[in-house]
Amino acid sequence: MTPAHFAFSSAFMLGLAGLAFHRTHFLSALLCLEGLMLSLFIALSLWALQFDTMNSAALPMILLAFSACEAGAGLALLVATTRTHSNNRLQNLSLLQC
Amino acid sequence: MAPFVYSTLIISLGLGTAMTFASTHWYLAWMGIEINTLAIIPLMTQNHNPRAIEATTKYFFAQATASATLLFAAVSNAFLTGGWDILQINHPLTSTLTTLALAMKIGLAPLHSWMPEVMQGLSLLTGLILSTWQKLAPFCLIYQIQPDNPNVFITLGLLSVIVGGWGGFNQVQLRKILAYSSIAHLGWMILILPFSPPLTLLTLFTYLMMTFSLFSSFMLVRTTHINSLSISWAKIPTLTASVPLILLSLGGLPPLTGFLPKWLILQELTKQDLAPIATLAALSSLFSLYFYLRLSYTMTLTMPPNNPAGTLPWRLNPQHNTLPLALTTTTTIFLLPATPTILALFTF
Amino acid sequence: MSYLMYILLFGLVLGLVAVASNPSPYFAALGLVVVAGVGCGVLVGSGGCFLSLILFLIYLGGMLVVFAYSAAMAAEPFPEGWGSWPTLRLMVGYVAGVGVAWGLMGKFWYEEDWLGFDGVVELSVLRGDVGGVSLMYSSGGWLLIGGGWVLLLTLFVVLELTRGLSRGALRAV
């Protein structure tokens, strides 16, 4: 395990813990998701750079496009949730538990 | 929804799953899964009520987290072993992480809790897509990773069977019951996966058949609650006869198709010297059998205490195409005598 | 060089701690900006200046503007920064967790050379990551088409999700 591997792994795990354990706002959850994607971007780039594979250098770009898509869908859901649930607290999403 | 948008979404659903099926590289598989997730989101919110939006939000978060974890496991595997091949994920840490991420995607027991709530917010058609088609792409990946240590799979499978039975025990909402039944069936599939992968495929096939016929029947009688099942005799009388058989087939009673996978799985587990686990799985599927029985009881044996004219719901002539339902119901009920043929089909 | 990289990697982890410790959204967005900036530094340090440029321009330029914009939706009178107790407690906990993980992983450690890409290839015309990204336009064309299809799909997804006033949706605002 190299220092870079440790750094992006712990960054990913931190983002995952933040997403899983304590979220008050919808937007902070989305930001945590973006943090996950960012650490994945860095991981993919570092893999392509350290293992000297030219082909894999295109993967982080596609990842960026996909994470933009996810963020877009998430923000659209934020708008939809704010319309139906009147604010963006995640605790409001309690209609379906019974 | 406009027809062009609808067809784009349906094509993308197919594209995502096909991409995952066809890929040998983890990155392409991840791309397929992401396309799949994105494409079903508008289908879930077809009618913009708060419950649908909430279900979509929960689904989105669960799936996005799971797919990010999946890619993280693939990258870690690439750092540790240097390869991106799907079959090559043999480092213990990353293969466990991959298994957990895929378990979250298909809703296996410790990571299942999004599944009933999401199903509760959706229409029955979208719920059908969610519990059949959306499972295929992650399932294809989980089928391809071969861990050295089957304990993770056994734990996930056994917990899913138990939770799937126990969670649906006290439910009156049909969609939640269906979600828990899906969890239990996926548990059976995962339980046998390290020992006999063809049996997993067989179980998946029967599960798809049974779930399709059950969802279509409920769509036909338009019920989402156990109470309104009791007036379904007035809507479509033939279904009243066949739905209990479908339910008991899901529960796995002998003369019906649902017995086939359970029988073979229990036999295989016993052959592998895992009789306690087999016993535990068989006993906890009694929970599932209990709520299937309750549904059958409500549907066929109860009659509301008022005059027949009062119980008849006002309705239009149903315009559904019932041919697929007829086909899958037949396979759901009558396939047990064809066991040797089916086994030969799936064990190649 | 190596010390600088260690500092940058530490900044990466610390930035994610700042995002994950549940502050108010605009502080979390600030943390994400820090993570993206530090990540650019890490990528430059390991020899991928083009990917780093992409990260800087696309990510900071595009994504975070949108996030800062929609942070206004979550505006609240008393925002929680990193100084307030619940957040500070979580931050300390996360940093301690990372420290423990470092201690556990320390025995599997091995040094890496930060030269990485092109460090030994003296005669190449292009830098490796530029060449790799440009491969996307030749042999990776289907990947590009797939990415474009996903962007189109997302457009439909967003439009379908955010409409609804004309469709009789129940709404509170």
Which residue is closest to C159 within chain A, CA to CA? A76
**In the predicted model, is pLDDT for residue C173 greater than 50?**
no
**Residue C16 domain-assigned?**
yes
Contact A36, A15 (CB under 8 A): yes
Which residue is closest to C139 within chain A, CA to CA? A55
Which residue is closest to C158 within chain B, CA to CA? B42
Residues B335 and C90: their CA atoms lie apart, in Å, by 56
Q: Please tell me whether residues C21 and C55 are part of one structural domain.
A: yes
Dump pLDDT digits (tens) for B151-175: 999 999 999 999 999 998 888 999 9
Domain ranges of chain A: 3-86
pLDDT reported for residue C155 = 94
Residues B64 and A68: their CA atoms lie apart, in Å, by 12
Dump pLDDT digits (tens) for C43-69: 888 888 888 998 888 888 877 777 777
Write the single-letter amino acid at B320: H
Place C156 in a pLDDT band, splitting at 50, 70 and 90: very high
**In the predicted model, is pLDDT for residue B64 greater than 50?**
yes
The complex scores an ipTM of 0.95
Mean pLDDT, rounded, for B280-294: 92
**Residue C58 domain-assigned?**
yes
**Residue C131 domain-assigned?**
no
pLDDT reported for residue B68 = 95
**Residue C135 domain-assigned?**
no
The dihedral over CA atoms of C134, C136, C140, C145, expressed in degrees to the nearest 10, equals -140
- C-alpha closest to that of C51 among A33, A2, A71, A42: A42
- Write the CA distances from B227 to B238, B248, B313, C128, integer angstroms: 19, 19, 13, 65
**Residue C13 domain-assigned?**
yes
- Write the CA distances from C38 to A38, C13, C31, C52, integer angstroms: 11, 10, 11, 10
Task: Note whether B226 contacts A: Cβ–Cβ < 8 A.
Answer: no
- C-alpha closest to that of C148 among A65, B34, B13: A65
Q: Which of B26, B33, B41, B80 to mutate to test the interface with C (most CBs of C within 10 A)?
A: B41
- C-alpha closest to that of C46 among A55, A60, A48: A48
Averaged confidence pLDDT in chain C: 80
- C-alpha closest to that of C146 among B245, A59, A23: A59
Taking CB atoms and an 8 Å limit, are A46 and C42 in contact across chains? yes
HSE-CB at A89 with a 13 A cutoff on CA atoms is 5
Q: How many residues does chain B have?
A: 348
Subunits with 3+ C-beta pairs closer than 8 A to C: A, B
CATH number of the domain located at residue range(s) A3-86 in this protein: 1.10.287.3510
Task: Note whether C90 contacts A: Cβ–Cβ < 8 A.
Answer: yes
**Residue C123 domain-assigned?**
no
> Across the interface, which of C25, C48, C172 has its CB nearest the CB of A31?
C25
Place C117 in a pLDDT band, splitting at 50, 70 and 90: very low
Place B185 in a pLDDT band, splitting at 50, 70 and 90: very high
pLDDT reported for residue C112 = 58
Among residues 76-105 of chain B, which lie with CB inside 8 Å of chain A? Answer: 76, 78-79, 82, 84
Residues B270 and B278: their CA atoms lie apart, in Å, by 7
Contact C7, A13 (CB under 8 A): no
pLDDT reported for residue B145 = 87
Residues B127 and B174: their CA atoms lie apart, in Å, by 11
Cα angle value B277/B278/B280 (rounded, 5°): 65
Strand partners, B173: B225
Whichever domain contains C79, its CATH number is: 1.20.120.1200
Least confident of B163-172, B228-237, B276-285: B228-237
Which residue is closest to B4 within chain C, CA to CA? C156
- Percentage of chain A exceeding pLDDT 90: 42
Mean pLDDT, rounded, for B68-77: 94
Concatenating the DSSP letter of every residue in C81-146 gives: -SSSHHHHHHHHHHHHHHHHHHHHHGGG-----S--TTSS--S-SS-HHHHHHHHTTTTTHHHHHH
Q: Please tell me whether residues C111 and C145 are part of one structural domain.
A: no
Residues B217 and B219: their CA atoms lie apart, in Å, by 5
pLDDT reported for residue B312 = 67
Least confident of A29-33, B156-160, B338-342, C23-27: C23-27
Q: Please tell me whether residues C85 and C170 are part of one structural domain.
A: no
Q: Please tell me whether residues C56 and C93 are part of one structural domain.
A: yes
> Across the interface, which of C160, C167, C170 has its CB nearest the CB of B42?
C160
The chain A residues in contact with chain B (CB within 8 A) are 2, 5, 9, 12, 16, 19-20, 26, 29, 33, 36-37, 39-40, 43-44, 47, 51, 56, 59, 62-63, 66, 69-70, 73-74, 77, 80-81, 83-85, 93, 95-98
Mean pLDDT, rounded, for A71-92: 86
Burial of B82 (0-12, 13-18, 19+ CB in 10 A): exposed
- Enclosing domain of residue C149: 140-173
Domain ranges of chain B: 1-147, 150-348
Number of other CB atoms surrounding residue C139 within 10 Å: 10
Residues C16 and C21: their CA atoms lie apart, in Å, by 8
pLDDT reported for residue C172 = 46
Q: Taking CB atoms and an 8 Å cutoff, what residues of chain C touch B56?
A: 161
Place A3 in a pLDDT band, splitting at 50, 70 and 90: confident
Q: How many domains does one find in chain C? A: 2
Number of other CB atoms surrounding residue C153 within 10 Å: 23
Residues B251 and B290: their CA atoms lie apart, in Å, by 8
Question: Which has the higher per-residue pLDDT, C151 or A85?
Answer: C151
Give the sign of the dihedral formed by CA B81, CA C38, CA A68, CA B103: positive
Which residue is closest to B5 within chain C, CA to CA? C156
Q: Taking CB atoms and an 8 Å cutoff, what residues of chain A touch B44?
A: none
Global confidence as pTM:
0.93
